[in-house]
Structure formats: structure tokens, C-alpha cells
Amino acid sequence: MASFNKIIMLGNLTRDPQLSYLPSQTPVVDFGLATNRRWTSQDGTQREETCFVDCRAFGRMAENISKYCKKGRSLLVEGRLTFDQWEAQDGSKRSKHRITVETFTFVDSGGGGGRSGGERNAAPEQAEGGDDIPF
């Protein structure tokens, strides 16, 4: 059976990225993205909904996102959808979907730095071009 799992999302960070380290000392960053959808309903009123999605990146991408991104910054992420399950302290089972980031691109100039953040699978023009971020 064929399968395909690819997510591309452009949104604004909902909180400052939280950098931590795995026991193997691999950097990991967690952050949230929000996207807005606007439309006109049948009765002519303007409507809007916001979608909030948690994201996680590893390695140098994690360090760069943590260093150059703050709440409100626009970010384009590409990755895969993952499903996390765990047991809460009260014994209940919990789960949620999350984007595991494989590449990212800075969309605006806010917060300093360059325009590219893709560490893996990045096109050469993304990783080069005079950015002041070492990749």
C-alpha cells in the first residue's frame, strides 16, 4: 500500500520556541504555529477561524529556530504529521498530532537573521545566498 505524509504550513508563532536537549544531547525545539482562514458565509458576514498546530524540530534547525524566532514571527515549515500518545499523571490516555519539521524558511525579516533555515533537504539556493545564519 502506498502512503505519503507531507505537511507544508505557513503561519505565525504562537509562543516563543522552547529549546531543550534529549539525553543524547540532541537539541529539540517545540513551538506552535497559527494559521487563519477567512471567508464570507452565505448570509454575507465575514468569518474567520484560526488553526493552532504544535511543531517540533531537531538538531541545528532546533537551535536556529530557537535563536532567531520569537512569538509572532512568520515561518514556513515543511515536514510530516506525527501522532504522539502518552499517559497523563491522572492515568488518562492522551494524544495529539504534531508537525515534525524537516525544513523551514523565514518569511519575514523580523527577529534578525536570514531567510532560510532548512538544514536537510534544502535546495542549494536556500542554504546559500549571503545569509548570516551558519548552516
Residue 64 contacts residue 19 (beta carbons within 8 Å): no
20 phi, psi to nearest 5 deg: -145, 180
Pick from 20-24, 106-110, 112-116: least confident: 112-116
Residue 66 contacts residue 16 (beta carbons within 8 Å): no
Grid coordinates representing 58? 531537531
| Residue % of the chain over a pLDDT of 70 | 80
Residue 125: the pLDDT is: 31
pLDDT at residue 126 greater than cutoff 90: no
Give 65-93 pLDDT, tens digit per residue: 999 999 999 999 999 999 999 999 999 99
Q: Where are the alpha helices (DSSP H) in the chain?
A: 59-68, 124-127
Domain spans in the chain, listed from the N-terminal domain onward: 21-54
Distance CA 51, CA 34 (A): 5
> Mean pLDDT in the chain?
85
Residue 108: the pLDDT is: 78
Pairing, β 46-58 against β 18-21:
unpaired
Give 63-72 pLDDT, tens digit per residue: 999 999 999 9
What does each C-alpha distance from 94 to 8, 83, 91, 97, 100 come to in angstroms?
25, 11, 9, 11, 18
Distance CA 32, CA 22 (A): 19
Residue the block writes with cell 501522532: 83
- pLDDT, average across residues 95-99: 95
